[in-house]
Structure 1
Amino acid sequence: MHPEPFKIGDMKMDNNPLLLEENALQALSALPQPIWIFDPETLRIIWNNPACEEWLEISAAELQSKTILDLRPPSDHQALRAALIAFQNETTFTSQWTLQSKTSKSFKARFHWQRCALNQKIQVLATINDVTDTHETLANLDRAKKLIDIAGTKAKLGGWRMSLGSDHVSWTPQTAAIHDAPYEPAPSAEEAFSYYLPAYRQKIEKCYTECITEGKPYDEILQIKTRSNRIAWVRAIGEPELDSLGNIIGAQGAFQDITELIHEKNRNSDLEQRLFSTLENMSDSFFMISTRFDFVYLNPRAENLLKRRREDLIGKNIWQEFPEARNTPVYSLYQQAIDTGNAIKVKFFYPPLDTWFEVNGYPTSEGLGVYFRDVTNEENQQQAAKLLHERFVLVSKATNDVIWDWDLIKNGLWWNESMSRVFGYELLQLEPGPESWTTRIHPDDSQRVLESIHQVIDGTGTHWSNEYRFAKSSGKYALVHDRGFVIRDEQGKAIRMLGSMLDLTETRELEEKLRESQKLEAMGQLTGGVAHDFNNLLTVIMGNAETLAYRLKDNPQLQSLAEMTSKAAERGAELTSRLLSFARRQPLQPKTVDAGQLIQDSLALFRRILPETIEIEAPDTDGLWKIAVDPGQLEVALLNLVINGRDAIPQAGKLHISALNTELDSIQTDAKETLPAGPYVLISVRDTGHGMTQETLNRAFEPFFTTKEVGKGSGLGLSMVFGFVKQSKGYIKIHSAPNSGTCVELYFPKFAPETP
């Protein structure tokens, strides 16, 4: 059985114990020196470090089930009781005892007791030294010193001492560190007092004087300015030092840096003040009720919303002051929140105030904190929105257009039933998000369309429209006109987009057929008449040329001229044939072509149609990408451009033909179209002629439009080039200005072999 608890007096926090925190206990646990902490009233050991267990050969659980009397021989119990009685008037106590281990092994141990505060209760910290062996005693003393240093460092606690008649203060390294001063040399009394701020120096000098003259101990909270000009809060503790006769021979004490504790206390106070200020000025209404449902606090916003003064409500029961609330959901939910500790949220209508409230309740240890706000307008808007949605659904069913509704927040896309009727898709089989739309846009249109719609969504616009090709369930593409309206929130952020899609396929096909018919009719009339008359002329020319060639066989020079006339007529017949082919829109015969090599091969032809006053340049191009075009049509296109350049140079000048690889982000063509980004081969024909005005540039591609004199141009040259380039999936652009020459650029996409 354990001995009866033995009280040694009421040790209060006023006795200034050593403050122990978790980090200090961790440091003590790591020490090899046996240390334990016991309750001064029950004498039970409440904590020990592992060294105790090893030293006494006993587990922590068994050790902490014992009192310090249990570990002493019965012969020591009376002396131990006397020591405990003496200790209640002392700050520390040191004694030597015989200690027994679990195996009855005896040790001579020196105990050092010191009051400590652990978990806000006074306990006794016992440091134990085995003095059986002198060398072991010295080692244990060294460990004890390290322990004190660690505890002092962790707690920012140091000591000091000053003898009467001495002008210098002895301090520990920790005390010196608190002053941001070196440990040695020891400071003078004047220097030590000079660290205190003027508001506190007189007070500390008075306390010290009374301590060494009257024996009064002191424990004060003061401020110092360290050697590094740091302002610190400190706890200065002092008591008189007595000799064996009881005479005061000096003073000694402890010195602790409590700056962090003071700042934490101030932060807590500031936090409370900020919290109160926040509640008073917040836009939401807030009140606190106790567990008995009495009002504890209301902010001004709550007064306004409840139409009651807080002075009239604080201390009153909420159900008595607002009896109609018993018939609302909050009556049971408030009780539920307090009973379970779980937050609640509810929206309800309160008839006496004709108001919809949204309430959030958060349980606390003292009751319930309630945030609430007036959501009457929001509720009315929701009801109106519900009605509008019902109307929208009815309208979407009645129209033939494909109606869509894109929720930009949740990224969901809704289609009406016309999606099935027009494009053949089952609504339940469509993806729930915008991919039900984006994945069905024609690949050649996708980038253009998506960029245009996101430009509106990400910007400030509200309207969007575009035309593009959209895939049907059959795999065919329909030409559609799509338009949408963007709905934005109060901050201007797009949150929703409504629109409709109209299938223009049949309409555009009819329009295209009409245009093609009109164009073919005009081209047919032109080419039929011109080609017939031109062929008659060419027949006469070719017949006469052959006759002359035959009759001039004795005159080689004239015969050569006749043969050249015959070849020119044949060339004219070939061009007429090509013109007729273009009018009939016969399909091209694209092949993989090296544009640079084709230019070099055509230089001889180009030089024959140029006068000697015009110099032609066509540098070789290495590493040029291949393109997929009809080589014959490309040669004719370049020939047309060379002829145009020749005619634009009044006398002497230059023609420059080049080809190069280029990577384009985008480019605006003269046809008002945008090139998609990617690799292209650029063929340019540049002349030093008179150039074109802006008006001429705007009409350059119109069929039959020409600025040449009558009989010197048909106006079909650039039109044929434009048609060829477009059929080859390329683009054409003209740069020109009066008196600055002209540069025609042909862009052809890089040939990319199809992968199996």
Structure 2
Amino acid sequence: MSSAPHLTDFPSCGQATHLRLTHQVAKVGSWSLDTGTGRLHWSPELCALLEVGSNYLPSLEEGLAFFLPSGRRRVRSALDRCLNEGIPFDVDAPARTARGNRIRLRTLGESVRPPGAAAAHIHGICQNVTSLHRMREALRIQEERFRLLASATNDAIWDWNLETDDVWWNDGVETLFGYRQEEVGTEMARWMAMIHPDDRAEVRASLTEAFKSRSTTWAGEHRFRRADGRWAWVLVRAQLVRNESGRVIRVVGGMTDLTSHHELEQQLARSRNLESLGRLAGGIAHDFNNALASILGSIELLLLDPPTDPQARADLEQVRQSARRGARLTGQLLALARRQVLRPERLVLNHLVEDGISTARPMLPRDIRLKFRPGGGMPPIVADARQLEAVLHQLLVNSAEAMPDGGTILVETMVEEPVKPDGMPLVVLRVRDHGVGMDDTTLERAFDPFFTTKSEPGAGLGLAAVHGTIIQSGGTVDVESTPGVGSTFTVRLPTEHTEPPMAEGVR
């Protein structure tokens, strides 16, 4: 704490005049308190600050009255400690001049006992810090406003000082990307290191071009690494602050997470591609199915009076089997295109699953075990039993193929309560395996037609047909998978409540 000058130390003559001018420029006035008389002695500069006559000699209480109540208590308390304990003080408090003008006074004081004096005096100075206080208050408001805006936005805000190469981040960098402040660092090189290697050169070039131009803004999209190692698509928008010579000295910007937007765009593009492919496949399958029906009809007629030559009869049987495989393929194509002729009926999912598991067992390897865990109180659904059983078969076959060394496939059914209060419950069919699982790339394309990780010809339509059938039935199908852990397919179908649910024992 600075020591207040003693009135006894003030120089005289020219030096005193110089000191008074200095006090006037600095808006400083001196004062002293005679503890014996309780009177204050103010310098002419202090009298001018408080807009009173230069010969004004107030009492302590009259002097304290210039301070507003909140400040008056603090100044009085500081004076008491200084007088009783000898503790110097420095108090910033609001005051009002004799003419009613509001000012801010910084008051400093210390206790001095002159030689031969019976009691200590207090000497000090007062400085008008109104302008400084206003600037500080304006800065505080601006900082608070910036802090509130930075916390209210969903963006990660950053401020890059090119003079020091320091970078400040708001809490958005943790909210959006999972980084703590100490992890993201304060150097711009750390930010650059978090940009995807394939995007880094383009970002540098774009930023350099913006610096060289006279532009005051910069924007771009790139991939940014999250704390967990995944990549996020971000939109960066920034303001470039230049000095008088036009050189960029500061960049303030924000990063918006566009990952969900990019994923939606990709899903929309994939959906459009699948829709186009489905329409094409559906048209071809319809015509092909008609041709196959004619072939199969002719073969059945020929087999009513089979040829006597065993080889000719075997060839005819092989043609029939090939035609039937073609018919199944066209059925999958029609399911993909959602152009199957569905024959919905009211049924209980548990009964259908029990029958489906029985008919699926011969289709699966012997080292595959099936476990069924039926849910209770299952409401009825309206669906095509034949197509729904085909969906179950395909999911079981898919799970069995994911467990080449054998294992257990768990089939579960349950009721899922509606998310909305006025919504209808859903019936859930879940098929879980402990197979090889799928990585993110495979998982993303699991329901794409003709996509497969197997090498067999004609593969790649099974899950696409499952997706088409369930969507055409008014439901949804999702998959979760972890490499080395297994996959879980979940089918959700709407329930039908026009009549009470059928009892589980009624077949």
TM range (shorter): 0.3 to 0.5
Larger radius of gyration: 1
Give me the TM-score of the superposition, normalised by structure 2. 0.43
> Higher relative CO (CA 8 A, sep ≥ 6), structure 1 or 2?
2
Give me the TM-score of the superposition, normalised by structure 1. 0.31
